C-alpha cells in the first residue's frame, strides 16, 4: 500500500487525473478527475465498506446537533474546523489555495486541514465538501490507521463535525471507506436535498497517487459559538523535498 508511484509511466496511465493539493504522510496532491462528469466507478469499490453497514451500530449524535437542516444558505460558507472526536482529530481548516513561503503551491500544509476550493460550501444542498490533509500525527493519520484494519470497518458510523465561518456545525456520519482511490467519483451523485463530506489523505509517501477517501453523509446542522467554530489556524510549510 505504501509503494511510491513517481514514474512518468504512472502519470501516463492516469490520464485525466490532475494533481492539486491533498495530504499524505510525506505529502502528495489530491485528485481532480471526476469533476463535471460522471466517470465509471473507481477500482476501489471492492476495497470499500458497504454504506449499509452504517445502520449496524451508528454512533449517537448529540441532541444539540439534531436541529432541522436549513434549505440552503443564500450566502457562501467556508469550512473552518474539522472534528472527528472518536479518533482524536480536531483541526482548523484553511483554503487549499493558501500559500506559505517555502512550501510548493500544490503541497499540503501541516498543522491544518484544507478544503478544495471547488468543493468548499457545506451550506449548499446537493453538493460535496472536500477536506484533505496529511496522514501525520496530530492530523489525519488516525483515518489512515483505521482504514488498514478490515478495510476501515470501524470507521463506519463515526460522527464527523464540520464547522463553518457562519458559526454553523454540520454533522455527518461516515458511510463508506474508499481505499486506493484514484479519482473524485465519490463526490458525484449527491441527492438534491443532501450534503456530502469527503475526507481525504494519502496512503504513502510523497508522490504516491492512490488516496484514502472517507465518505460521510449529512445528518444535521446547528448553530455553534463563533469561538468554537473558528479556531486560530497556524498553517506551516512542511515540504521535505523529493
CA distances from 121 to 163, 186, 232 (A): 11, 17, 20
Tens of pLDDT, residue by residue, the chain (242 residues) = 444 333 333 333 333 333 333 433 333 345 633 222 222 333 332 233 333 233 234 455 543 333 333 444 457 999 999 999 999 999 999 999 999 999 998 899 999 999 999 999 999 999 999 999 999 999 999 999 999 999 999 999 999 999 999 999 999 999 999 999 999 999 999 999 999 999 999 998 776 789 999 999 999 999 999 999 999 999 999 988 76
Q: Note the pTM of the prediction, 2 decimals.
A: 0.75
122-136 as b/e: b if 16+ CB within 10 A: bbbbebbbbbbbbbb
What per-residue confidence (pLDDT) applies to 31?
Answer: 60
Looking at residue 4, what is its pLDDT? 38
Place of cell 517555502: 102
- Please name each of the domains of the chain with its CATH number: 17-32+57-64+84-228 (2.40.260.10)
Cell of 141: 493519520
Task: Map residue 226 onto helix, strand or coil.
Answer: helix
Q: For 241, what's the count of Cα atoms within 13 Å in the CB-facing half-sphere?
A: 0
Amino acid at each position: 500500500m505504501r509503494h511510491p508511484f513517481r514514474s512518468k509511466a504512472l502519470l501516463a496511465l492516469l490520464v485525466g487525473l490532475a494533481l492539486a493539493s491533498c495530504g499524505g504522510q510525506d505529502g502528495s496532491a489530491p485528485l481532480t478527475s471526476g469533476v463535471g462528469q460522471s466517470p465509471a466507478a473507481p477500482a476501489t469499490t471492492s476495497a470499500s465498506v458497504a454504506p449499509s453497514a452504517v445502520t449496524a451500530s451508528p454512533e449517537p449524535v448529540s441532541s444539540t446537533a439534531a436541529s432541522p437542516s436549513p434549505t440552503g444558505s443564500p450566502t457562501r460558507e467556508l469550512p473552518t474546523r474539522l472534528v472527528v472526536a472518536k479518533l482524536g482529530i480536531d483541526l482548523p481548516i484553511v483554503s487549499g489555495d493558501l500559500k506559505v513561503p517555502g512550501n510548493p503551491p500544490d503541497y499540503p500544509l501541516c498543522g491544518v486541514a484544507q478544503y478544495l476550493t471547488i468543493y468548499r460550501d457545506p451550506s449548499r444542498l446537493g453538493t460535496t465538501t472536500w477536506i484533505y490533509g496529511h496522514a501525520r500525527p496530530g492530523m489525519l493519520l488516525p483515518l489512515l490507521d483505521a482504514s488498514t484494519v478490515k478495510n476501515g470497518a470501524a470507521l463506519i458510523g463515526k460522527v464527523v463535525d464540520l464547522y463553518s465561518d457562519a458559526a454553523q456545525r454540520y454533522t455527518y456520519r461516515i458511510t463508506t471507506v474508499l481505499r486506493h482511490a484514484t479519482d473524485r467519483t465519490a463526490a458525484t451523485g449527491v441527492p438534491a436535498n443532501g450534503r456530502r463530506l469527503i475526507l481525504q489523505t494519502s496512503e504513502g509517501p510523497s508522490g504516491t497517487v492512490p488516496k484514502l477517501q472517507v465518505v460521510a453523509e449529512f445528518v444535521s446542522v446547528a448553530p455553534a459559538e463563533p469561538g468554537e467554530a473558528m479556531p486560530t489556524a497556524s498553517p506551516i510549510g512542511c515540504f521535505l523535498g523529493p
